[in-house]
């Protein structure tokens, strides 16, 4: 039943992947270009990889982007999971649905509006405390966490609703502390949702340009802002080289993870079979 | 769920509610404030009146967004359906592969489409071998729509895949056993069951498509001016925060109306925008 | 899965914290210079620099880390893509920068709005040593009784030029009007910013680039609209490089130094300075009003004028530098470039941009939006009706489907 996919459907899947990865292929090829063009090929060179790592501004921007993505994903995952539990435990359905509506706002709102409204708020707060340097890592972090939260909540909530509250109650009846019971009973069940939410949050942060653009300050520039500011001069193949490197790193990681996972699954299966025998 | 824990639930909810009020509600109030005041801070309706000039841009943006969303849906739906019928490890790998392009900055991915579509680009160079072209693939509306579909397709695929993979297979089997043709299984069983996924995907593609500005600038060659460009221009070039804020407000309301209409047809009573990953 | 995921996440974070650029070769400064910067007492301070993207050498000489090495001051370096973008970040508030690099008209605007501080030239000894007075006239004007040169030190100078591909354009053009020639339909690239694009139309109309008369702007906008309708120009900024180098386009407008960069990659390109006049511009260092480290900022400006640093930047950016030490350096590759260093005495009608009053600026922006924003209406209707039809179709299909289902259940 599971593997009844026809060759035609496989072809379709492959075609969509070709569409999704066409720019990646182009980047990889042009990252080895002989001159500054990202449009026509002029021989082969690895100069862009060398130049990339000698460019402190780009390296710094890359570092900032990753730090921001990791930190904001961690915060939004923790806060989002807590919020999901809280929302789910609300008995008043009206309160629950109104909180959910508010939660959805950053997702329904165009990014440009979210970014601008955040900037207006931060500047306003800064004025209240008569400080002229409110924008920076803190504000960009808050903005990222805020727009990631609905995605985390939406991936944890369905998992939480699937859990059976009676197991949690049973654990408590058996003398488990509520907090302990939560970590031992509920947490493992909603973990796939939390992981999915965290990956989504991390991805959104890496990909975000518009919100960062409006909320960043003098001490923190992410890679997309750096790339956007090349509008007057030019985007050179070193940016393609960077993307190629990131892509290659993640791709290898993904394959390793997949191998590890299928191995552990096999182990489980064989151990189960052994148990049956 | 938690019987004696209404205090605990309040405790667990309060950080999130505080966060929402501070960083979701308050920024929107700031937008409203700017939209209804002039540069000196006095109340005025001029900004709201000024919107009339941009009504055709609004309609065009909604049109572009809708077309991009529908195309994404058409591409993503079979993809998600086929994917849900493949082996488990392939599915897991594929979901990551769908998200992976988003880890590279969307600016650079959009930029590389210029390399693919331009007159000396990959496609036209290929066509030249057969004596065709160069076809005008870049700097027009189609290129902008392609950019939107490309960038936001993962947001359509992921929720659709989630509903499809969770779908109870026995329903499909039952329908097949009762003699339904493959097409009517899809129409009568799969389609109605995937409505929440369609609704989520629609939201997540439509909203960013309507408000984008980088895609129109790079792939549209300045030929197509959507509302995102206008808003960005008001904040970044014309420095007219008040008009920009009121345009943002209208954009937000229009998107909410569009999504409200969608909600009417999908009557998803979950009230949380459906599913994610 | 979890463990692996969290492990990788930690790994990525650690790696990213550990990554630093392989430092480029260090410049050997003289003992005197090294001592001067070390003696300024900037150790432990920080300096927020806001510059154009790709507007400083980060490859051959890592200018920023050289400055950090010499002074012990930490530089927070961020970049912008246009004067307006920089201004709005500044005016929006919430940020405090030390060094800004606006262009001419933006320097005037910042000065008018008291957003920049006067420079203490005793902290910028290199100015007297290396600044080529030939360029001094650019900053001679007074704004509200304040001399621009007391506030700004020129970084780079340039002009707008007309670039053409000799494969398409056989006769050497002399006038901007070639951009309106229907023979080059779909083969023209125009600036994607209002001021530079308007200046071309204004030059053709013989107007002052800084006119405040609405009818002048109307006329210029009319001309640009006509161009858009007949020639279908593509409005670009940095894409101009790829598009001209590949030979896809016949004509383009951009900045002089960038022409040299393109010409290096495509020898078929040539340029002219059209007879109706061009725009001359400069970008200059200024110190923001909100600066927390004015001494550091002045040291930075001084450092940017050090011969080695100025040379590295000039070779990287390809615009004309007003630094005497570079102009006299035999290793400087651009000194013979007539595009970068034109004979100003031969250029007729060169005009600079000045700050426009707010209402004129808004009027110009509105006109520009109209030039670009009046989307082809047939296009609009096509899109609109397709999507209406699509929506109607889906809704109808769904409703029919629903009715059928209802009947089915009723039965």
pLDDT in tens, C59-98: 888 899 999 999 999 999 999 988 988 998 888 888 889 9
Say if residue C124's pLDDT is above 90: yes
Residue B265 confidence (pLDDT): 64
Q: Which chains touch B (3 or more CB pairs under 8 A)?
A: A, C
Residue numbers of A between 41 and 60 with CB closer than 8 Å to B: none
B141 touches chain C (CB under 8 A): yes
CA distance C95 to C92: 8
Say if residue C240's pLDDT is above 60: yes
Of A8-12, A148-152, A218-222, C89-93, the least confident: C89-93
Residues of chain B with pLDDT under 70: 1-9, 264-277
Tell me the CA distances in angstroms from B171 to A160, B159, B174, C93, C146, one per residue in order: 24, 20, 5, 59, 81
Record: contact C96-A133, CB cut-off 8 A: yes
Q: Which residue has the tokens 């290898």?
A: A252
Record: contact C365-B233, CB cut-off 8 A: yes
| Nearest partner of C319 among C155, C123, C177, judged by Cα | C155
B225 touches chain C (CB under 8 A): yes
Q: Which CATH class is domain A7-269?
A: mainly alpha
Say if residue A2's pLDDT is above 60: no
A128: which chain C residues are within 8 Å (Cβ-Cβ)?
A: none
Closest Cα in chain B, distance from residue C294 (Å)? 27
- CB contacts < 8 Å between B and C, how many? 97
Average pLDDT, stretch A114-121? Answer: 90
Q: Which residue has the tokens 């984008």?
A: B212
Say if residue C1's pLDDT is above 70: no
For chain B, the domains span: 55-266
What one-character-per-residue DSSP string does B51-93 give?
GGGGHHHHHHHHHHHHHHHHHHHHHHHHHHHHHTTS-HHHHHH
Nearest to C81 among A58, A67, A228 (CB): A228
CA distance C216 to C201: 10
Residue C169 confidence (pLDDT): 93
Nearest to A123 among C64, C82, C92 (CB): C92
H or E stretch at A105:
helix A93-108
For chain A, the domains span: 7-269
C403: which chain B residues are within 8 Å (Cβ-Cβ)?
A: none
What pLDDT digit, counting tens, does each position of C283-306 carry? 999 999 989 999 999 999 999 999
B118: which chain A residues are within 8 Å (Cβ-Cβ)?
A: 39
Q: Are C280 and C298 in contact (CB under 8 A)?
A: no
Residue numbers of B between 35 and 74 with CB closer than 8 Å to A: none
**φ/ψ of residue A112, rounded to 5:** -65, -35
User: Tokens representing A79?
Assistant: 């806060």
B9 touches chain C (CB under 8 A): no
CA distance C43 to C38: 8
Residue numbers of B between 213 and 252 with CB closer than 8 Å to A: 213-214, 228, 231-232, 235, 241, 244-245, 248, 251-252
Average pLDDT, stretch C375-400? Answer: 65
Confidence at C251, pLDDT banded by 50, 70, 90: very high
3-state secondary structure of B277: coil
Q: Are B137 and B121 in contact (CB under 8 A)?
A: yes
C373: which chain B residues are within 8 Å (Cβ-Cβ)?
A: 57, 225, 230
Closest Cα in chain A, distance from residue C309 (Å)? 16
Closest Cα in chain C, distance from residue B7 (Å)? 32
Record: contact A39-B17, CB cut-off 8 A: no
Residue B269 confidence (pLDDT): 44
B136 touches chain C (CB under 8 A): yes
Record: contact B210-A110, CB cut-off 8 A: yes
Torsion of CA A212, A216, A218, A219, to 10 degrees: -80
Record: contact A231-C238, CB cut-off 8 A: yes
Residue A11 confidence (pLDDT): 93
A28: which chain B residues are within 8 Å (Cβ-Cβ)?
A: none
| Nearest partner of A117 among B31, C155, C124, B247, judged by Cα | B31
Of A141-150, C4-13, C350-359, the least confident: C4-13
Residue B1 confidence (pLDDT): 43
Residue C22 confidence (pLDDT): 62
Say if residue C219's pLDDT is above 90: yes
H or E stretch at C155:
strand C153-165
Q: What is the mean pLDDT of chain C?
A: 88
Average pLDDT, stretch C184-211? Answer: 93
Residue numbers of C between 255 and 284 with CB closer than 8 Å to A: 258, 261, 265
Residue C47 confidence (pLDDT): 95
Looking at chain A, the whole-number percentage of residues with pLDDT higher than 90 is 30
Nearest to C88 among B60, B222, B239 (CB): B239
A235: which chain C residues are within 8 Å (Cβ-Cβ)?
A: 238
Residue B76: closest C-alpha in chain A: A16
Confidence at C379, pLDDT banded by 50, 70, 90: low
Residue B272 confidence (pLDDT): 41
Closest Cα in chain A, distance from residue B54 (Å)? 17
Say if residue C36's pLDDT is above 90: yes
Pinpoint the alpha helices (H) of C155-208: 194-205
Say if residue A202's pLDDT is above 60: yes
Measured in whole angstroms, how far is the alpha carbon of residue B165 from the centre of its chain? 22
CA distance C111 to A86: 53
Average pLDDT, stretch A64-79? Answer: 93
Q: Which residue has the tokens 């197991």?
A: A167
What one-character-per-residue DSSP string does A28-41 give?
HHHTTBSSS-SSS-
Q: Which CATH class is domain B55-266?
A: mainly alpha
Residue C136: CB partners within 8 Å, gap ≥ 6?
C149
Say if residue C14's pLDDT is above 70: no
Architecture category of domain C21-151+283-346 in CATH: 3-Layer(aba) Sandwich (3.40)
Residue C201 confidence (pLDDT): 95
B268 touches chain C (CB under 8 A): no
Record: contact C82-B237, CB cut-off 8 A: yes
Closest Cα in chain A, distance from residue B113 (Å)? 6
Closest Cα in chain A, distance from residue B136 (Å)? 16
Residue C387 confidence (pLDDT): 67
Of C409 and C242, which is predicted with more confidence? C242
Record: contact C58-A54, CB cut-off 8 A: yes
Say if residue C377's pLDDT is above 80: no
Record: contact C369-B224, CB cut-off 8 A: no
Cis peptide before C316 (omega within 30 of 0): no
B6 touches chain C (CB under 8 A): no
Question: CATH number of the domain at C158-278+364-373, out of 3.40.190.10, 2.50.20.20, 1.10.10.10, 3.90.79.10?
Answer: 3.40.190.10
Record: contact C243-B118, CB cut-off 8 A: yes
Residue B93 confidence (pLDDT): 86
CA distance B228 to B147: 15
C2: which chain A residues are within 8 Å (Cβ-Cβ)?
A: 191, 195
Q: Which residue has the tokens 């969509």?
A: A16
Neighbours of C192 (CB within 10 A): 22
Record: contact B118-C375, CB cut-off 8 A: no
Residue A276 confidence (pLDDT): 65
Nearest to C22 among A39, A54, A225 (CB): A54
A160: which chain B residues are within 8 Å (Cβ-Cβ)?
A: none
Of C205 and A257, which is predicted with more confidence? C205
CA distance B237 to B228: 13
CA distance B25 to B19: 9
Closest Cα in chain C, distance from residue B6 (Å)? 31
Nearest to C94 among A134, A198, A219 (CB): A134
Coarse DSSP helix, strand, coil percentages of chain C, rounded to the nearest 5 percent: 50, 15, 35
B59 touches chain C (CB under 8 A): yes
Residue C160 confidence (pLDDT): 94
Nearest to C59 among A54, A219, A257 (CB): A54
C53: which chain A residues are within 8 Å (Cβ-Cβ)?
A: 226, 228-233
Closest Cα in chain C, distance from residue A198 (Å)? 10
Confidence at C322, pLDDT banded by 50, 70, 90: very high
Nearest to C13 among A59, A70, A199 (CB): A70
CA distance B89 to A70: 26
Residue B39 confidence (pLDDT): 79
User: Tokens representing B247?
Assistant: 């345009």
Residue numbers of B between 75 and 114 with CB closer than 8 Å to A: 75-76, 78-79, 82-83, 85-89, 92-94, 96-109, 111-114
User: Tokens representing C81?
Assistant: 């893509």
Record: contact A229-C81, CB cut-off 8 A: yes
Record: contact A226-C53, CB cut-off 8 A: yes
């Amino acid at each position: 039943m599971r593997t009844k996919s026809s060759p035609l459907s496989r072809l379709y899947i492959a075609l969509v992947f070709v569409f999704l990865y066409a720019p990646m292929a182009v980047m990889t090829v042009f990252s080895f270009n002989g001159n500054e063009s990202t449009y026509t090929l002029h021989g082969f060179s690895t100069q862009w990889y060398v130049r990339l790592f000698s460019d402190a501004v780009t390296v710094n921007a890359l570092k900032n982007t990753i730090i921001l993505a990791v930190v904001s994903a961690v915060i939004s995952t923790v806060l989002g999971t807590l919020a999901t539990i809280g929302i789910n435990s609300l008995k008043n359905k009206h309160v629950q649905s109104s909180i959910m509506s508010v939660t959805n706002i950053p997702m329904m709102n165009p990014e440009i509006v979210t970014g601008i409204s955040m900037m207006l708020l931060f500047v306003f707060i800064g004025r209240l405390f008569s400080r002229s340097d409110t924008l920076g890592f803190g504000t960009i972090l808050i903005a990222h966490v805020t727009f990631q939260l609905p995605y985390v909540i939406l991936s944890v909530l369905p998992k939480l609703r699937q859990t059976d509250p009676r197991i949690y109650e049973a654990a408590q009846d058996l003398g488990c502390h509520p907090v302990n019971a939560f970590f031992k009973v509920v947490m493992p069940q909603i973990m796939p949702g939390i992981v999915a939410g965290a990956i989504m949050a991390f991805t959104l942060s890496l990909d975000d340009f518009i919100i960062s653009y409006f909320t960043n300050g003098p001490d923190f520039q992410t890679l997309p802002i750096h790339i956007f500011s090349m509008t007057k001069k030019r985007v050179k193949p070193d940016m393609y080289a960077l993307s190629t490197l990131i892509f290659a790193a993640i791709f290898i990681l993904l394959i390793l993870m997949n191998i590890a996972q299928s191995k552990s699954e096999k182990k489980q299966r064989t151990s189960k079979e052994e148990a049956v025998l | 769920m938690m019987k004696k824990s209404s205090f605990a639930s309040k405790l667990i909810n309060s950080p999130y509610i505080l966060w929402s009020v501070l960083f979701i509600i308050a920024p929107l109030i700031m937008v409203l404030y700017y939209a209804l005041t002039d540069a000196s801070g006095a109340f005025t309706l001029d900004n709201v009146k000024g919107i009339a000039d941009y009504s055709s841009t609004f309609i065009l943006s909604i049109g572009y967004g809708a077309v991009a969303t529908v195309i994404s849906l058409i591409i993503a739906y079979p993809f998600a359906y086929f994917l849900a019928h493949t082996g488990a490890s392939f599915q897991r790998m594929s979901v990551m592969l769908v998200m992976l392009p988003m880890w590279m900055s969307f600016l650079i991915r959009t930029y590389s489409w210029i390399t693919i579509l331009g007159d000396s680009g990959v496609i036209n160079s290929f066509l030249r071998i057969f004596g065709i072209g160069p076809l005008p693939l870049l700097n027009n509306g189609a290129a902008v729509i392609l950019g939107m579909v490309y960038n936001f397709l993962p947001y359509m695929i992921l929720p659709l895949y989630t509903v499809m993979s969770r779908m109870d297979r026995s329903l499909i089997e039952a329908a097949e056993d009762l003699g339904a043709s493959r097409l009517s299984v899809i129409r009568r069983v799969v389609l109605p069951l995937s409505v929440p996924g369609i609704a989520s995907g629609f939201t997540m593609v439509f909203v960013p498509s309507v408000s984008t500005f980088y895609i129109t600038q790079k792939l549209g060659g300045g030929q197509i001016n959507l509302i995102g460009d206008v808003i960005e221009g008001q904040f970044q070039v014309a420095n007219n925060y008040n008009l920009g804020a009121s345009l943002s407000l209208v954009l937000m309301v229009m998107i909410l109306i569009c999504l409200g209409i969608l909600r009417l047809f999908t009557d998803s009573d979950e009230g949380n925008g459906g599913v994610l990953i | 899965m979890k463990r692996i995921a969290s492990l990788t996440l930690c790994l990525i974070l650690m790696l990213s914290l550990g990554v630093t650029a392989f430092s480029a070769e260090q410049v050997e400064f003289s003992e005197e210079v090294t001592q001067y910067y070390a003696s300024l007492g900037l150790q432990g301070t920080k300096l927020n620099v806001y510059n154009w993207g790709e507007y400083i050498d980060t490859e051959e000489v890592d200018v920023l880390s050289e400055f950090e090495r010499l002074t012990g001051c930490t530089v927070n370096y961020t970049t912008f893509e246009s004067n307006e973008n920089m201004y709005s970040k500044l005016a929006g508030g919430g940020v405090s920068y030390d060094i800004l690099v606006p262009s001419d008209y933006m320097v005037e605007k910042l000065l008018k709005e008291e957003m920049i501080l006067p420079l203490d030239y005793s902290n910028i000894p290199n100015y007297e040593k290396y600044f080529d007075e030939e360029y001094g006239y650019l900053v001679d004007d007074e704004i509200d009784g304040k001399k621009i040169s007391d506030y700004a030190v020129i970084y780079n100078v340039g002009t707008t030029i007309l670039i053409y591909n000799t494969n398409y354009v056989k006769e050497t053009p002399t006038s901007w009007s070639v951009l309106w020639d229907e023979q080059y339909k779909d083969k023209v690239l125009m600036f994607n910013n209002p001021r530079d694009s308007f200046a071309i139309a204004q030059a053709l109309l013989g107007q002052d680039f800084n006119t405040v008369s609405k009818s002048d702007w109307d006329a210029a906008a009319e001309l640009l609209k006509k161009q858009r309708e007949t020639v279908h120009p593509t409005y670009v900024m940095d894409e101009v490089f790829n598009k001209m180098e590949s030979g896809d386009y016949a004509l383009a407008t951009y900045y002089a130094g960038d022409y040299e960069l393109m010409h290096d990659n495509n020898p078929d390109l040539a340029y002219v300075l059209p007879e109706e006049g061009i725009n001359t511009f400069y970008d200059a260092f200024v110190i923001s009003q909100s600066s927390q480290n004015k001494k550091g900022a002045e040291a930075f400006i001084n450092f940017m004028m050090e011969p080695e640093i100025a040379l590295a930047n000039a070779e990287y950016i390809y615009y004309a530098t007003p630094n005497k030490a570079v102009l006299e350096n035999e290793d400087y590759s651009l000194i013979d470039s007539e595009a970068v260093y034109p004979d100003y005495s031969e250029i007729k009608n060169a005009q600079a941009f000045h700050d426009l009053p707010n209402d004129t600026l808004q009027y110009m922006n509105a006109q520009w939006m109209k030039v670009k924003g009046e989307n082809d209406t047939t296009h609009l209707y096509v899109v609109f009706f397709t999507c209406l039809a699509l929506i109607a179709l889906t809704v109808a299909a769904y409703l029919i489907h629903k009715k059928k289902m209802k009947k089915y259940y009723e039965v």
